[in-house]
Structure 1
Amino acid sequence: MHTIIHVITRLDMGGSAQNTLQTCLGTANRYRVMLVHGLSEESAMTENETASVLRQTEAATKRGVVFHPMAALIRKISPWQDLLAFFTLWWLFIREKPAIVHTHTSKAGIIGRLAAWLAQVPNIIHTPHGHVFYGHFSARTAKTYLIIEKIFYHITDYLVALTHGERNDYLRLGVGKAERLVLIHSGVELEEFHQAGRLNHPEEIKKNLGLSRTEKIVGTAGWLLPIKGPLVLLAAMGRVWQRYPEAELVYVGKGDLEQEIRDRAKSMGHQSQVKLLGWRSDVHTIMGLFDCFVLPSLNEGMGRVLVEAMAANCPVVASNTGGIPDLISHDANGLLVPPNDEKSLAEAILRVLDNPELTDRLRAEGQTVCQRYSLTAMLEKLHQLYAKVLNK
């Protein structure tokens, strides 16, 4: 049985980590699968998050996945830790002799691919889970990452893009050739989100969450970081509140901007209507309460949370950036607006809240579109890719 070793810095509840865990789980019946990961201390996970990840790793272990925690494998740049991680990975690859090393996200992709190449691993695959060439860092840092990716492409057999938008960015920026850029979306377990769209007692759930039973609810889910645009959404709600003064804004997630969101909401006089729920294991249920789901990202590799929102029967408003247009067709299964444009975002949210017929149409089309991004479809494409590189 061939060995595949995956490498990622953080094993948490973020989209890239969840995608990687699902990949390991879904391929363990065909390969010997190992997942090398950092200790995820940078994620500052809550007890509930840690427990959820532990449940997932225990389930994966029962399926045969071998987990290899590595303290030196961290997300931030640290010359000493990075060097230690590199040599530890190199020796692991020498010892385990994997047929494939599959790295995930930028930092793990740099260290892991170099170690695999020097260990003469025959097949190297990298999934960036959304590039960092704009929106994340300063122009200088982004350019540095671009140069590194252009160099590392030459020791990579295949790059995996989550969307056409991401793949086109790689081609446009000169990172790789079309024949070695594979499109495999991030798959989602749809059924629990479908069930959320058919909640039996939404009023009781709203009461338990401290939400109004009658007012409009606009919601988002994800990291509360600048790249995700949570402050843009809050600014847009300033316009929405002019028409719907009692509407509530719900953030499901956590991050560096949490306190700033609270402070700004207070200065706007709407602190009681802005709910920061933190990370939740029942996000699928909470999504089922939203009258409008918003993803205001400044850049986004794919935005798998949009698939979840559509499956939960939410009408969607999102930024027209990165891979999002792959998932959302404007005025068909959602509304697209320019990123970092609070006025356009507010207008789109109001269109949804004002127009029940539009809402019904977006929901119906979203239910159809989300089927394309199922976990089953993702795993089938991954199996095809692995078979291709192993049989070359």
Structure 2
Amino acid sequence: MQVLQLVSERSWRGGEQQVAYLLEELRELGITCHVCCQKGSAFEAYCKQNNFPHIALAFTKIFPVPTALQLKAYINKHNIQLVHMQASHAHTIGVLAHMLGANCELILSRRVEFQIGGSLLSKYKYNYKGIKRIICISERVREVLAQSIDDPGKCVTVYSGINLDRFRDLPVIKSDYLRRTYNIPPHKLLIGNISAIDVHKDYFTFLEMAKLLKDQGVNATYLAIGTGKMEQEVKNYAIELGLANDVIFTGFIKNVHQVLPELDYFVFTTIKEGLGTTVLDAFASRVPVVASATGGIPEMVQDGITGMLAPVKQPAIFAQKVMQLIQHPDLRQRVVENAQKTVVNFSKEVTTRHTLAIYKEILDTH
């Protein structure tokens, strides 16, 4: 089986981590994938460090034909049977390479629940006949996409997975990093959100919830773990709400899987989310989750069973759900235990097994 992963992004975010997991797990199963990535990207460095056969290209959006031609030549030279396109620009390049004569089958991953764009290019590339399957990271993503393409039967769901091994020895790796670093006294609860500080993650609702909990007498420190283009605006809003001494903006933390278990509650106020693997990290960390009932999140978080759900942009309900967990330790314990049982279905091994089955189905059929 000759497979190439097409990764167009320069930075390293959740999608790139999922591709890395897939590459590593497939290698464990005896399948070493090729990679085409952007020159100078984090993924190129990853391929070099881990000895994955790869080609690094320019991935210019202005004139993509030269990149597509180089990709086509690589595919045909190495007898690549299947190209897995992992992001929007990768999708464009992959389709163009196929049109120019790349002798392979195409698969696309879809990670967002937005409807596809209305442009002719978007409609063409999502309905391109050379694409045999579109792998969606949640049922919600699949449903939204299936409504807007000609052949909804191409869309299949394969949930993203996490590395459960990082959480096997929680008592060993658990530290007091947050309390020590930010001088937080032991009697204060730690309530955190871990996500990019951008418009879709809606830290404004997180802060409004914090204000409501503070007014109700909850003694807590709130942690915004992440960075993003709206960081200063969100910091200003925290001051405006009188939370300057209650909210800590940590910026990006590299070993977040070691920090997450320190939280007493993980609150995820996102507006749009294909799935949200940080929720799974919280499950594995034995941290109770209060999250937005949006996107693929309800496929992981069952309200009152594996966590608590609140409507988007409803800080009062988020605060109410957190108070329920604080006031009812038995409920808190129950959702944590149920989440632990659920998260095993969202491992990187399970994701790889399901993805590989799709690869085999396509190659056996065509």
TM-score calculated relative to the size of structure 2: 0.90
* AA aligned opposite 1:286: V
Task: Work out whether residues 159 and 182 of structure 1, in 8 Å CA contact, stay in contact via their aligned partners in 2.
Answer: yes
Aligned partners of 1:334 and 1:146: how far apart in 2? 40
Q: Distance in 1 between matches of 2:121 and 2:311?
A: 24
1:175/1:23 Cα in 2 relative to 1: closer, same or farther (>3 Å)? farther
Distance 1:177 1:118 in 2: 26
**1:60 maps to which of 47, 50, 57:** 50
C-alpha contact (below 8 Å) 2:37/2:44 kept by paired residues: no
Q: Does 1:189 align with 2:172?
A: no
Q: Which residue does the alignment assign to 1:312? A: 285
* Corresponding position: 1:111 with 2:104: no
Q: CA–CA distance in 1 between the matches of 2:121 and 2:273?
A: 17
Give the aligned partner of residue 123 of structure 1: 105
Q: 2:359 and 2:291 mapped to 1: Cα distance? A: 33
Using the TM superposition, name which of 374-383 and 303-312 deviates more.
374-383
Q: Are 1:162 and 2:162 an aligned pair?
A: no
Q: Deviations over 1:175-204 (max 9, x none)?
A: 5323x22221111111223433x3676446
Q: Map 1:65-144; keep pairs closer than 5 Å.
A: 65-73=52-60, 78-80=61-63, 82-133=64-115, 142-144=117-119
Measure the CA separation in 2 of the matches of 1:156 and 1:90.
16
Cα RMSD for the two superposed structures: 2.6
Q: Are the aligned partners of 2:95 and 2:125 in contact in 1 as well (CA < 8 Å)? A: no
What is aligned with 1:263? 236
- Pairwise CA distance, 1:209: 4.3
Amino acid at match of 2:57: M
Percent identity at matched positions?
A: 18
Matches within 5 A, 1:338-357: 338-357=311-330
Pick one of 163, 170, 177 that aligns with 2:152.
177
Q: 1:159 offset after TM fit, Å?
A: 0.6
Gaps of 5+ in 1: 42-49, 134-140
Measured in 2, the distance between the counterparts of 1:299 and 1:146 equals: 24
Distance 1:260 1:317, change over 3 A: same
The equivalent of 1:36 in structure 2 is 36
Residue pair 2:113, 2:140 contacting (<8 A) in 1 also:
no
Give the Å deviation of 1:149.
6.5
Alpha carbons of structure 1 residues 357 and 146: separation in structure 2 relative to 1, 3 Å = farther
SS in 2 for 1:154: coil
Q: Is the 8 A contact 1:3 1:97 kept in 2?
A: yes
Asked if the contact 2:65/2:96 (under 8 Å) is kept, the reply is no
Verify the 8 A CA contact 2:84 2:107 in the aligned structure 1: yes
Q: Is the 8 A contact 2:2 2:80 kept in 1?
A: yes
From the superposition, tell whether residues 21 and 231 of structure 1 become closer, same or farther in structure 2 (CA, over 3 Å): same
Does 2:322 align with 1:335? no
The CA deviation at 1:12 is: 4.0
Distance 1:282 1:34, change over 3 A: same
Give the one of 254, 258, 267 matched to 1:294: 267
| Deviation sequence 1:279-310 (CA, Å, 0-9, x none) | 22221121111111122111111111111110
Instruction: Measure how far apart 1:251 and its partner are.
Output: 1.9
Query: TM-score normalized by structure 1?
Result: 0.84
For 2:45 and 2:266, how far apart are their aligned partners in 1? 28
| Aligned-partner Cα distance in 2 for 1:145–1:375 | 35
Counterpart position of 1:136: none
Q: What's 2:17 paired with? A: 18
Q: Distance in 2 between matches of 1:312 and 1:340?
A: 26
Cα distance in 2 between the residues matched to 1:199 and 1:153 = 50
Whether contact under 8 Å (1:4, 1:99) holds in the other structure is yes
Deviations 1:73-105 (A, max 9, x none): 5xxxx423x444334333333433310000012
Q: Which runs of 5+ in 2 are unaligned?
A: none
* CA distance 1:84–1:117, shift in 2 (3 Å): closer
SS of corresponding position for 1:391: helix
Report the AA paired with residue 375 of structure 1.
Answer: K
* SS of residue in 2 equivalent to 1:325: helix
Distance 1:166 1:351 in 2: 30
3-state SS, counterpart of residue 272 of structure 1: coil
Contact 1:103 1:109 survives alignment (8 Å): yes
- The aligned length equals 364
| Contact preservation (8 Å) 2:44, 2:56 | no
Pick closer, same or farther for the CA change 1:149–1:292 going to 2, 3 Å: farther
Q: Is the 8 A contact 2:92 2:125 kept in 1?
A: no
State the match for 2:249 in structure 1.
276
1: distance between equivalents of 2:313 and 2:118? 22
Distance 2:39 2:219 in 1: 42
| Residues 236, 346 of structure 1: 8 Å contact kept | yes
